[in-house]
Amino acid sequence: MKRSRLVFRHIGQLLLIMLLLPVLSPSWADEEVRIGVLSHRGDVVTRAMWGPTADYLSAIIPGHRFTIRPLKFDEVNPVVDAGEVDFVLVNPGIYVNLEVKYRVSRIATLYNRRNDVPYKIFGGVIFTRKDHPEINTLEDLRDHSFMAVYSTSLGGFQMAMREMLDSGIDPYRDLKSLEFGGIHDLVVMSVLQGKVDVGTVRTDILERMASAGTIDINDFHIINPRQEPEFPFALSTRLYPEWPFSKVAHTADTLAQQVAVALLQMPHDHTAALAGKYAGWTIPLDYQPVHDLFLELKLPPYQNLGKFTLSDAIDRYRYWLLGGLLVLLFMLFMTFWVMRLNQELHKAKNRLEQQHELILDSVADGIYGVDLRGRSTFFNRAAERITGWAADEVIGFNQHEILHHTHADGSPHRADECPVYQTFRDSQARYISDDVFWRKDGNSFPVEYSSTPIWDENGKTVGSVVVFRDTTRRKKAEEDSRQHQVELARVGRLSTLGEMASGIAHELNQPLTAISTNAQASIRLLESNSSNLDVCIDVMERIAGQADRAGEIIRQLRRFVRKEPLERAEVNINNLVNAVVVLIRPEIRRANVTLELDLDRDLPRISVQPIQIEQVILNLARNAIEALQENQQDERKLSIHTRRVGEQRIEVWVRDNGPGIKPEVADTLFDPFVTSKSQGMGLGLSISHGIIGAHGGKLVVNSAYQEGAEFTFYLPLLEAS
Amino acid sequence: MDQTTPTVFVVDDDEEVRNALKLLLESVGLPVICYASALDYLEKFDERLPGCLVVDIRMPGMSGLDMQEKLAENPIHPPVIIITGHGDVPMAVRAVQAGAVDFIEKPFRDQILLDSVHRAIEMDAERRGEASRQSEIHEHLSQLTPREREVLDLVIGGMRNKNISEKLGITLSTVEAHRSRVMEKMQADSLSHLMRMMLTLEQDYGKP
């Protein structure tokens, strides 16, 4: 719809142009020169007033067609800026702005026509009604109501304001009220009718109204009256030049010159001048007074000089302000962020502290800190639980005197021997595996503990941390384990004896048979002839010897199966070997084995559990005898040697000339339940290995021995406890 | 050594037991010879010596059982009494099956051992008597000529003289002469006596 109308309009324009074409054709090719004219009374009036002037110029200056472009007040700046006009005709106020902003330059000044007299200058008049005798000077205006035409009106306000400011009156601040009437006549009428005390209008308004009969000029009193030569109107302000005709920056100087010449040559009663209600043009006047006025009033283009309001600042420093604001916002954000960060750090710190405390309190080991003076600095929950002391009963007090004052045997533990203090002295961490701490209830408990120095950031020892553990249970477990080993060894012995029972029974039968037979023979001898007494005495002695022999075997048996006490005894290992020989003799005999004993006579006594060592020797000897039964060719030999090796140890080796250890079983020889025998549980070597280990020695098979098997064990002479 | 006095041979590796046995057996007047091992005895073995053996079944070297087996290789040897320890009964049973006359568990009552020893000595004497009779018959047989031996075998087989003469192709009177010489050389009173003698040999040694 809109579009079609547009098309119609274009067609209409085209038709109009076609109609006008023959008429306008001579000037059709002329260059258009646009004159922007301030239009404060509507475009039609403006064109009517200034159209003739344009036509005048078009007629005078060949090759150019001058047109009028009416400009509303707010259109002036953008149009000039955009270069849409070539000349401008505006009031002096606007002109000085354009001059500053867009470098327009005046080429002529208007002669205003007043009562057919041309005036190229004008001013403002401030007046009051005659019946205000108290208002005589500008200073008297203070606290009176005031009306002007409008705030940007040069003659209708700004000129008067300049004078008032010079007299120390700020119309915006010092007056009782400030109104703008909008029309000059209205201002005059308002003062006349007493609506306001004082008014200001352009010069000649009062005279014009008086000549029109609207007012009587004598009803008014002129404030700050001034006399200027050749200026007949009532005047209160300085005088200022009339409207200038100016060229815009882009307009060619030659054209401007032509226009200026044309304007200056215009007769003052030319129809164009009459239409524009002016009286021709004069050479451009000095517009400095207008500049001064604006400078003084701090009006554009001088609005930023001197008077520096907030809005001025905002306007001028917009980007700085924006930047500042951004920086402020950024800093605000940063502050907020840092605050948050700080808060989070604080939380994290608390959490870490809690965690730290939680860890300290949830570990099962007792932990406490000690400062250089031996006072406890912290005491965790496990430490409280284990010792029975509450943290606040210990913290700040001497830990040694509380926990560590006495040895296990009841002798006092001197503080200077305390490992915790020694840690301070040499800054070395310590581990004590066997000690006692004292509970609050006065009982001691076995502990293992470590004492670790705490260093400050300079590496200087400032205390120590003690981590301790109640080893009661572990000790008990160790004891149980030892007991278990003892039991196992005993079971092993019982099992061995079970295997040996028939042989031992035979071995017992021998002396019993000898005893029985001897005794019965003696009876017969004595019955047949009592003179056989001497013989019988000999026999009795033999009987007693045999009884001893049987008794020895029984004794060894009982020893061997007894639940022996765990105490060790200082013994000669040779005696143990001999005791074992008693038990293995039947097997040796039955297996037709030759026993060779090579016992070191200078063997020192050694602290062992005798039965267990015998058990080892017995196991090794029986294994050898069993192995020897596979030997069908050679003489079966079993050798048991004892030997002292230096000051360190005693060695015992049991050697046979049987088939030797099969390589495939060599690795698992000492494992339990590994056996090559049809009978037996395979515990013998495993138990033996355990027994020798418990004595701090070692049981090994000598793989280098090729003629059979050789097992060696050694026992340390000074067993490290 | 007096070949008629039976001796008790004690084989035991345990000297004390050996000595005690010797004392006991000597207390009843029996001569005793002790050996410390089976090999020792076998080395000095003399089949002519009568008596009996008292052997510990369990000994190093050669056991009583092995020794018994060795002895059995000889036609004449003293009867074996096995002394066993506790728990060796299965071995003792094996010994008896192999010809041991008795086994005694240690320790033992003296009378039991002595009775057993006496029985064994008697048995040895009997065996030795039998053995001497047989060797006598053998000796008589060895005096026969081959023809006489032929005649003897046919007579033992139950043939009458006439049949023998036909079989051998000799005259009846020659058969009768051979037969009377056989009776004389064998020192047989009658045909039944001769038959018994030959039967004894067959029983003990099988068919010659």
pLDDT at A245: 92
B166/B66 same-domain check: no
Q: Which tokens sit at A430?
A: 């310590």
Side chain identity at residue B140, one-letter code: H
Q: List the CATH number of the domain containing B162.
A: 1.10.10.10
Please name the member of B20, B58, B60 whose beta carbon is closest to the beta carbon of A514.
B20
B116/B167 same-domain check: no
Residue B137 domain flag: no
* Summary mean pLDDT of chain B: 85
Beta bridge partners of A369: A378, A465
pLDDT at B2: 46
Beta bridge partners of A655: A639, A710
pLDDT at A25: 44
DSSP state of A427: -
- Please, what is the end-to-end C-alpha distance for chain B in angstroms? 34
Judge: B58–A505 Cβ closer than 8 Å, yes or no: no
Which of B94, B128, B162 marks a domain boundary? B128
Asked if the bond preceding B50 is cis, omega within 30° of 0, the reply is no
Side chain identity at residue B102, one-letter code: D
pTM of the entire structure?
0.47
Q: Residues of A numbered 540-559 whose beta carbons fall under 8 angstroms of chain B's beta carbons: which are they?
A: 542, 545-546, 549
Tell me, yes or no, if A215 comes closer than 8 A to chain B by beta carbon. no
Q: Kindly give, in sequence order, each residue whose CB lies less than 8 Å from that of residue A551, ignoring residues fewer than 6 positions away.
A: none
- From A403, A393, A391, select the one nearest A445 (Cα to Cα): A403
Mutate which: A520, A527, A538, A541, vs B, most B CBs within 10 A = A520
Asked if the bond preceding A301 is cis, omega within 30° of 0, the reply is yes
Side chain identity at residue A213, one-letter code: G
CATH number of A121-240: 3.40.190.10
Please name the member of B13, B21, B59 whose beta carbon is closest to the beta carbon of A517.
B21
Judge: B87–A505 Cβ closer than 8 Å, yes or no: yes
B21/B124 same-domain check: yes
- From B19, B12, B120, B115, select the one nearest B60 (Cα to Cα): B12
Query: What is the number of alpha carbons within 13 Å of residue A616 lying toward its C-beta?
Result: 32
- From A419, A405, A527, select the one nearest A464 (Cα to Cα): A419
Judge: B24–A524 Cβ closer than 8 Å, yes or no: yes
Q: Sign of dihedral through CA atoms B90, B91, B93, B98?
A: positive
Separation between Cα atoms, residue A364 and residue A379, nearest integer Å: 13
Alpha-carbon torsion, ordered A50, A53, A54, A57, to 10 deg: -170
B66/B119 same-domain check: yes
How far is Cα of residue A156 from the mean position of the Cα atoms in its chain? 69
In chain A, what residues touch B14 (CB-CB under 8 Å)? Answer: 510, 513-514
- The beta-strand segments (E) located in A26-183 are 31-38, 64-71, 87-89, 105-114, 117-119, 121-122, 124-129, 145-148, 177-180
Mutate which: A509, A525, A542, A628, vs B, most B CBs within 10 A = A509
CB atoms inside a 10 Å sphere around CB A337: 11
Give the model confidence (pLDDT) of B85-115 as tens digits. 766 677 878 888 888 888 888 888 889 999 9
B41/B123 same-domain check: yes
CB burial class (10 A; 0-12, 13-18, 19+) of residue B150? middle
Please name the member of B60, B88, B107 whose beta carbon is closest to the beta carbon of A513.
B107
Tell me, yes or no, if B19 comes closer than 8 A to chain A by beta carbon. yes
Judge: A506–B20 Cβ closer than 8 Å, yes or no: no
B11/B105 same-domain check: yes
Residue B194 domain flag: yes
pLDDT at A29: 65
B38/B99 same-domain check: yes
Which of B128, B162, B188 marks a domain boundary? B128
Percent of residues, chain B, with pLDDT higher than 70: 94
In chain A, which residue's Cα lies nearest the Cα of B17? A514
Q: How far is A648 from chain B (nearest CA, A)?
A: 40
How far is Cα of residue A289 from the mean position of the Cα atoms in its chain? 68
> What SS3 class is residue B115?
helix
Tell me, yes or no, if B67 comes closer than 8 A to chain A by beta carbon. no
CATH topology identical between A29-117+244-285 and A121-240: yes
CB atoms inside a 10 Å sphere around CB A72: 13
Judge: A521–B58 Cβ closer than 8 Å, yes or no: no
Domain A29-117+244-285 belongs to what architecture?
3-Layer(aba) Sandwich (3.40)
Please name the member of B27, B85, B88 whose beta carbon is closest to the beta carbon of A521.
B27
Q: Which residues of A141-161 are buried (b: 16+ CB within 10 A; e: fewer)?
A: bbebbbbbbeeebbbbbbbbb
Asked whether A615 and A560 are in contact (CB, 8 A), the reply is yes
pLDDT at B95: 83
Tell me, yes or no, if B110 comes closer than 8 A to chain A by beta carbon. yes
In chain B, which residue's Cα lies nearest the Cα of A526? B27
B11/B91 same-domain check: yes
Q: Collect the ranges in chain A with pLDDT lower than 70.
A: 1-29, 304-309, 312, 564-566, 672-683, 719-721
Give the model confidence (pLDDT) of B126-137 as tens digits. 888 887 888 888
Residue B139 domain flag: no
Side chain identity at residue A165, one-letter code: L
Judge: A514–B14 Cβ closer than 8 Å, yes or no: yes
Q: List the CATH number of the domain containing B103.
A: 3.40.50.2300
- From A367, A354, A430, select the one nearest A403 (Cα to Cα): A367
In chain B, what residues touch A595 (CB-CB under 8 Å)? Answer: none
Q: How far is A409 from chain B (nearest CA, A)?
A: 56
Identify the CATH homologous superfamily for domain A363-470. Answer: PAS domain (3.30.450.20)
Which of B101, B128, B155 marks a domain boundary? B128
Residue B135 domain flag: no
Q: How far is A587 from chain B (nearest CA, A)?
A: 10
Separation between Cα atoms, residue A437 and residue A384, nearest integer Å: 13
Judge: B58–A590 Cβ closer than 8 Å, yes or no: yes
CB atoms inside a 10 Å sphere around CB A76: 23
Residue B134 domain flag: no
B29/B121 same-domain check: yes
Q: How many CB pairs under 8 A join A and B?
A: 86
Tell me, yes or no, if A585 comes closer than 8 A to chain B by beta carbon. no
B158/B190 same-domain check: yes
In chain B, what residues touch A509 (CB-CB under 8 Å)? Answer: 85-86, 106-107
ipTM comes to 0.70
Residue B136 domain flag: no
CB atoms inside a 10 Å sphere around CB A89: 23
pLDDT at B205: 47
Q: How far is A581 from chain B (nearest CA, A)?
A: 16
Q: Which tokens sit at A250?
A: 């882009």
Domain boundaries, chain A: 29-117+244-285, 121-240, 363-470, 477-716
Question: Domain tally for chain B?
Answer: 2
Judge: B106–A509 Cβ closer than 8 Å, yes or no: yes
Q: Residues of A numbered 496-525 whose beta carbons fall under 8 angstroms of chain B's beta carbons: which are they?
A: 502, 505-506, 509-518, 520-522, 524-525
Residue B190 domain flag: yes
SS3 annotation, A563-600: CCCCCCEEECHHHHHHHHHHHHHHHHHHCCEEEEEECC
pLDDT at A8: 58
Residue B15 domain flag: yes
Q: Kindly give, in sequence order, each residue whose CB lies less than 8 Å from that of residue A435, ignoring residues fewer than 6 positions away.
A: A404, A408, A446, A447, A448, A449
Please name the member of A509, A512, A524 whose beta carbon is closest to the beta carbon of B27.
A524
Give the model confidence (pLDDT) of B55-75 as tens digits. 988 787 788 888 888 888 887
In chain A, what residues touch B39 (CB-CB under 8 Å)? Answer: none
- From A540, A544, A525, A543, select the one nearest B26 (Cα to Cα): A525
Separation between Cα atoms, residue A380 and residue A360, nearest integer Å: 6
Mutate which: A499, A500, A510, A534, vs B, most B CBs within 10 A = A510
* Domain A477-716 top-level CATH class: alpha beta
Judge: B20–A502 Cβ closer than 8 Å, yes or no: no
CB atoms inside a 10 Å sphere around CB A54: 21
Judge: A525–B27 Cβ closer than 8 Å, yes or no: yes
Range of the domain at B178: 144-205
Asked whether B16 and A546 are in contact (CB, 8 A), the reply is yes
CB atoms inside a 10 Å sphere around CB A108: 25
How far is Cα of residue B196 from the mean position of the Cα atoms in its chain? 19
Q: How far is A509 from chain B (nearest CA, A)?
A: 6
B115/B196 same-domain check: no
CB atoms inside a 10 Å sphere around CB B130: 12
Q: Which tokens sit at A353?
A: 């502290």
> What SS3 class is residue B15?
helix
Mutate which: B10, B12, B14, vs A, most A CBs within 10 A = B14
B59/B88 same-domain check: yes
Triad A602, A603, A608: Cα angle to 5°: 165
Q: Kindly give, in sequence order, each residue whose CB lies less than 8 Å from that of residue A34, ignoring residues fewer than 6 positions away.
A: A66, A67, A68, A69, A84, A85, A86, A87
